[in-house]
A = this chain, B = another copy of it.
Amino acid sequence: MKKPLILITNDDGITAPGLRALVDFMKELGDVVVVAPDSPQSGMGHAITIDNLLYSKKMILDLDDDENTEEYSCSGTPADCVKLALQEILDRKPDLCVSGINHGSNSSINVIYSGTMSAAIEAGIEGIPAIGFSLCDYTWEANFTHAKAQIQQIVREALENGIPPGVVLNVNIPKLETKEFKGIKICRQARANWKEKFDKRISPSGKEYYWLTGEFELLDKGEDTDEWALANGFISVVPTQFDLTAHHAIQTINNWKLN
């Protein structure tokens, strides 16, 4: 039987430990092609490169890579990587696209800013089953192997059952030891917000500038949310969609006086 073809990308860049771990996990499940940014692209949301050119380069990053693994870097955003992979690099449609493992959470409102999830969503838009994986640990030294079994299990189920059309999975993994995981929970996106704080400084030449910083503010006490799951030791899986229509609001706005 033909092995499934798995496209891997991320937003932390092709050399990020989280991606290297995901490549290792996926090699055991299928043929792997990596097309990932050549530099970090965190917080890029669903940006695409319109007014600039894209470079792509074949890479050899892992001497263990066999003929079932190919890797390419791309100078663009995560969404660009997926577009380039599907149109220019792959010779057949992948069976699955996985993005990550992100260094840091993409739960709740973070999904909106996430380059990791934008890559998965881009694949979903193009009709490829897709999953974004994120570990709630921002450090470069984060331990990604604790959740290997669960990540492989989610991927196996996605390959076996498919993912409903128009839906992309957003998987977040709490920062825990393997034996501390309580399980995997299907959730909704928690309502949350970032309370921005701008750190205002003066440059050596006397110009004012700002750093964007902020504090995460959970606005949701539901026990069916990804934030609740993560806080309680579960791996969260949020089915996520790119039809942004607020169908419930159509009727309300229809009552406005518009002609």
A interface residues, Cβ below 8 angstroms from B = 40, 42-51, 53-56, 76, 79-80, 83-84, 86-88, 109, 111-113, 118, 121, 125-126, 150, 153-154, 157, 161, 163-164, 166-167, 169-170, 183-184, 186-189, 191, 193, 196-198, 200-201, 207-212, 237-250, 252-259
Q: Which of B55, B211, B240 contacts A244 (CB 8 A)?
A: B240
Q: A45-B45, A47-B43, A258-B157 are in contact. Are A244 and B241 (CB under 8 A)?
A: yes
When all copies of this chain in the complex are counted, the total is 2
Q: A47-B44, A50-B42, A198-B88 are in contact. Are A249 and B253 (CB under 8 A)?
A: no
- Beta-carbon contact of A48 and B50 below 8 Å: no
Compute how far the CA of A218 lies from the CA of B189 in the bound complex, rounded to whole angstroms. 29
Q: Give chain B residues whose Cβ lies under 8 Å from the Cβ of A42.
A: 50-51
Compute how far the CA of A43 lies from the CA of B245 in the bound complex, rounded to whole angstroms. 20
Compute how far the CA of A258 lies from the CA of B244 in the bound complex, rounded to whole angstroms. 28
Q: A209-B55, A239-B253, A256-B157 are in contact. Are A245 and B125 (CB under 8 A)?
A: no
A188-B247, A238-B245 known; 9 new pairs, CB 8 Å cut-off, are A43-B49, A45-B47, A47-B47, A55-B208, A88-B200, A112-B244, A184-B258, A189-B245, A239-B250
Q: Can you list 18 pairs linking A and B with CB atoms under 8 Å apart?
A: A43-B47, A43-B49, A44-B47, A46-B112, A53-B201, A54-B211, A84-B210, A88-B210, A109-B125, A125-B193, A161-B255, A164-B246, A164-B248, A184-B258, A186-B253, A191-B243, A238-B244, A242-B244
Q: Give chain B residues whose Cβ lies under 8 Å from the Cβ of A242.
A: 109, 112, 244
